[in-house]
Amino acid sequence: MKLIDRYIFKTVASAALVALLVLLILETFFSFLGEIDDIGEGNYGLTDILLYLLLNMPQRIYEIFPMALLLGGLLGMGSLASSSELVCMRAAGLSLLRLIGAGLQVGLVLGLLALIVGEFVAPATTRLAKEWQATAKSEQVSIRQGLGFWARDGELLIHVGAVSPGVGLENIHIYQIDEQSRMRSIARARSARYMDDQWLLEDVQRSLIETDKVTADYQPVLTLNSLISPDLLRVLVLDPKNLSMRDLVTYIDYLDRNGLDSRSYRLAFWNKVFGPLINLAMIFVAMPFAFGSQRTVSMGQRLLIGVFFGLLFFLLNRMLGNVVLLYGYPPLLGAAAPSLLIFICGAYALHRVR
């Protein structure tokens, strides 16, 4: 029996990995076409695009992995059904649940690997990719990203604690340095917003450093003309889906402590938590197509079915997420509902098969 489990695992896992490779190539190709238009912006060239796409691959793998598992389940189990191997296994005494369990092991093992990539590899490489892209596109602004970032804008050194949703700035420190690298002033602002081609700093405490004294003052609002534009910040803004669960917890706490909206980040956190369940659901929903009357369909038809269900899941996940954020429902509901609906649909289909 263990031999049969390993055989099913190898068949479905091989199909899933091939599907993952094909999806990754297609996704990277279309992303490459989208980046070509930006060649020549600053120092952004072909080498920068290739490095940007390479660094983004772990995040792309994590995002398309549910679709790859669905296709792997359809193709792997479908090939076993087409060659009547599943019929022989059932005739040998293996129950339907036993065969389904062997297929689900693929979702469990590969899903764990995807979780490791999404939690420990993808956030770091995606952050590095955005940093590289922003630096290459900006000739006069040097940026390093963490929860916030540093920027060099002429004689100003600017540190931003965080970029809030809506591309606002929080906890800003501005250091002014003259041509002799001497500190001329230090300013700290609670927040900033972009209006009329300039930044409006709010709640500003400033220290002016002179040869023999330091003068401190306070400004409720202070304008700042800077090369750091909202368009540049949109490259750096912390996209919730690109953060690890640890970073999401940290950022949610930061937003809550500052009275900012954290619902989109909570939704991303619960999506990460339910990621393994979604992977299992995608394998599970593929099983009825192997054991039902559809086992004689062609490989092309199985691919079409997989793409259809993958797109349906993507639209359902996106729609429920937006509904939850729009109407103020708990983010947990928006993250859990898609996978639960898929399990229910798969269970109903398997019941029909039996």
Does residue 280 sit in the same domain as residue 132? yes
Does residue 105 sit in the same domain as residue 209? no
Q: With contact defined as beta carbons under 8 Å apart, do 274 and 335 qualify?
A: yes
Strand, helix or coil for residue 84: coil
328 dihedral zone (left: phi>0; alpha: psi -120 to 50; beta): left
Instruction: Read off the DSSP letter of residue 176.
Output: E
Measure the CA–CA gap between 191 and 151, rounded to whole angstroms. 16
Question: Tell me: the pLDDT tens digits for 35-90?
Answer: 998 888 878 899 999 999 999 999 999 999 998 998 888 888 888 888 888 888 88
Inside any domain, residue 197: yes
| Per-residue pLDDT tens listing for the chain (354 residues) | 588 889 999 999 999 999 999 999 999 999 999 999 888 887 889 999 999 999 999 999 999 999 899 888 888 888 888 888 888 888 888 888 888 888 899 999 999 999 999 999 999 899 888 878 877 876 555 555 555 677 777 788 888 887 776 667 888 999 998 888 889 899 999 989 888 888 899 999 999 988 888 899 999 999 888 767 776 666 556 678 888 898 888 878 877 876 777 888 899 999 999 999 999 988 888 888 777 654 455 666 766 776 777 778 878 887 888 888 888 889 998 898 888 888 888 888 787 766
Amino acid at 130: K
Question: Tell me: the pLDDT tens digits for 173-205?
Answer: 999 988 888 898 999 999 898 888 888 999 999
Q: Where are the alpha helices (DSSP H) in 83-227?
A: 85-91, 96-116, 122-137
Does residue 127 sit in the same domain as residue 152? no
Does residue 71 sit in the same domain as residue 205? no
Does residue 21 sit in the same domain as residue 75? yes
Instruction: Read off the DSSP letter of residue 148.
Output: S
Does residue 345 sit in the same domain as residue 296? yes
Give residue 199's domain range: 148-236
Does residue 16 sit in the same domain as residue 37? yes
Does residue 258 sit in the same domain as residue 228? no
Inside any domain, residue 143: no
Does residue 286 sit in the same domain as residue 182? no
- Which of 201, 236, 271 is a domain's end point? 236
- Which uninterrupted H or E stretch holds 192? strand 183-195
- Which of 236, 259, 287 is a domain's end point? 236
Q: Inter-axis angle of helices 275-291 and 299-327, to 10 degrees?
A: 140
Does residue 28 sit in the same domain as residue 132? yes
- Which of 191, 209, 236 is a domain's end point? 236
Which CATH number does the domain housing residue 180 bear?
2.30.30
Total number of domains in the chain: 2
Does residue 124 sit in the same domain as residue 271? yes
Q: Find how far residue 160's CA is from the centre of its chain.
A: 23
Half-sphere exposure at residue 332, Cβ-oriented, CA atoms within 13 angstroms = 1
Measure the CA–CA gap between 252 and 260, rounded to whole angstroms. 9
Does residue 72 sit in the same domain as residue 154? no
